[in-house]
């Protein structure tokens, strides 16, 4: 089985993977919401960090817990807990990001049986000189809470090992992304997303091994398809592989992205310091920010535009989960920036399920127009 086939298998059987890991290692599995949870610390404590994801199914189990104007991702995630699909979890953690997913965490904590849960207060003003010390204090609280729950002391050696493993994971995924700069693309956008989502569900040691296999395969890997327009995807949480496959079947390839199941998750390493918790705190404060956490558009905007240039982007899909204010506020500025570069943009809004017919028509029209401008 190739690395990419293995990533796909993990996504389809993610619950069984976590249960088997638990059986195999005797370790604890801790779920996380939003990418500001320090997975290094959970892993250093012998836990398997798994991201809570939805299933893109229509459901009504959350109606009495969350307003219908909460983003579909947050409602879908909570529905998984209420339906018992994560009943193997030993813990649940979240860092303060946006109020929508906060609702998921609070309701899960109150209405879904979970032995351990912990909330990390991520500072709002990440540009403040007090932000790193503040988060460092929060991480110490998390460490002590985990040690009390597991009875295991997390040593500096454990932290060093976990930091090294996750930095390696990020470096290897960035290396895969470098292959997406080529004209003869060896990997599709859907496959790259499977790789990143799998990294949020798997044991990092096992995921690193698969990444090394993939990097050995990519130089000679040929795709039997036309690359078409080189597209960048920017927006909210997105793990809908079926949608990305449909998008690419219409005559384009996603060559770069900016979202939390893409480059935003792994673009920044932890710079090792004597103070390990301080080093982890600094990484999560200074990392590529989610708009739910950063008020400074320019910080993100400049990095996004540089990536668009570096991956020779010819068109951009700006998308948001319905009701997702943080990403919605970004769209006008981003659309204007790309307009100034004559790079066409398409804006799509996602709900729990996708109106494939409607989206297909809009994407086909966009690609037709964009290709006229580009080719």
Supply the minimum distance, in Å, between the C-beta of residue 221 and ligand SF4. Answer: 32
Q: Which is nearer to ligand SF4, 59 or 168 (CB)?
A: 59
| Chain length of the chain | 375
User: Among residues 99 and 110, whose Cβ is nearest to ligand SF4?
Assistant: 99
Report the residue number, 107 or 314, with the smaller CB distance to ligand SF4: 107
Q: Which residues bind ligand SF4 (CB under 6 A)?
A: 71, 73-74, 98, 100-101, 236-237, 292, 321, 324, 326-327
Rounded CA-CA distance 221/237 in Å is 29
Shortest Å, Cβ 290 to ligand SF4: 6
Tell me how far, at minimum, the Cβ of 237 lies from ligand SF4, in Å.
Answer: 4
Contact, 219 vs 184, CB < 8 A?
Answer: no
Least gap, CB of 18 to ligand SF4 (angstroms): 22
Nearer to ligand SF4, 59 or 175 (CB): 59
Q: Which is nearer to ligand SF4, 217 or 325 (CB)?
A: 325
Backbone angles phi, psi at 269, to 5 degrees: -90, 165
Query: Reduced to 3 states, what is the DSSP secondary structure of residue 329?
Result: coil
- The number of angstroms, rounded, from the C-alpha of 270 to the middle of its chain's C-alpha atoms is 17
d(CA 259, CA 265): 7
Residue 7: other Cβ atoms inside 10 A: 26
336, 337, 341, 345 alpha-carbon torsion, rounded to 10°: -60
* Backbone torsions φ then ψ of 137, nearest 5 degrees: -60, -40
C-alpha–C-alpha distance, residues 347 and 221, integer Å: 32
Q: Which sign, positive or negative, has the C-alpha torsion 143, 144, 150, 152?
A: positive
Q: Which is nearer to ligand SF4, 96 or 118 (CB)?
A: 96
Find where tokens 């956008």 sit: 189
Complex with ligand SF4: residue 75 or 276, whichever CB lies closer:
75
- In angstroms, give the least distance from the CB of 76 to ligand SF4: 10
Q: How far is the CB of 206 from ligand SF4 (least distance, A)?
A: 27
- Strand segments (E) across the chain: 28-33, 47-51, 91-95, 116-120, 229-235, 252-258, 315-321, 345-350
Task: Take residue 344 and report the two structure tokens written for it.
Answer: 């066409």
CB of 70 to ligand SF4, least distance (A): 8
């Amino acid at each position: 089985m190739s690395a990419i086939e293995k990533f796909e298998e993990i996504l389809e059987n993610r619950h069984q993977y976590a249960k088997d890991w638990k059986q195999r290692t005797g370790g604890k599995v801790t779920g996380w919401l939003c990418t500001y949870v320090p997975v290094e610390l959970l892993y250093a404590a012998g836990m398997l960090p798994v991201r809570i994801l939805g299933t893109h199914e229509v459901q009504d189990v959350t109606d009495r817990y969350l307003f219908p104007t909460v983003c579909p991702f947050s409602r879908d995630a909570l529905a998984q807990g209420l339906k018992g699909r994560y009943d193997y979890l030993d813990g649940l953690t979240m860092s303060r990001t946006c109020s929508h997913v906060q609702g998921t965490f609070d309701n899960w904590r109150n209405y879904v049986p979970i032995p351990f849960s912990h909330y990390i207060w991520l500072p709002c003003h990440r540009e403040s000189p007090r932000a790193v010390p503040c988060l460092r204090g929060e991480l110490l609280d998390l460490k002590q809470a985990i040690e009390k729950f597991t009875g295991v002391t997390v040593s500096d050696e454990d932290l060093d090992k976990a930091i090294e493993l996750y930095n390696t994971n990020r470096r290897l995924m960035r290396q895969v992304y470098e292959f997406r700069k080529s004209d003869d693309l060896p990997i599709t956008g859907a496959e790259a997303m499977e790789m990143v989502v799998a990294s949020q569900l798997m044991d990092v040691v096992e995921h690193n091994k698969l990444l090394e296999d993939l990097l050995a395969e990519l130089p000679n890997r040929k795709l039997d398809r036309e690359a078409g327009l080189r597209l960048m995807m920017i927006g909210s949480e997105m793990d809908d592989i079926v949608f990305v496959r449909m998008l690419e079947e219409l005559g384009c390839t996603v060559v770069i992205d900016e979202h939390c199941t893409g480059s935003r998750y792994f673009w920044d390493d932890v710079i090792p310091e004597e103070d390990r918790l301080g080093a982890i705190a600094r990484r999560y404060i200074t990392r590529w920010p989610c708009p739910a956490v950063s008020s400074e558009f320019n910080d993100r905007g400049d990095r996004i535009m540089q990536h668009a240039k570096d991956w020779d982007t010819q068109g951009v899909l700006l998308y948001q989960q319905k009701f997702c204010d943080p990403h919605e506020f970004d769209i006008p500025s981003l659309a204007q920036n790309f307009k100034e570069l004559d790079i066409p943009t398409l804006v799509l809004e996602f709900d729990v399920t996708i109106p494939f017919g409607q989206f297909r028509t809009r994407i086909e029209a966009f690609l037709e127009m964009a290709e006229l401008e580009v080719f």
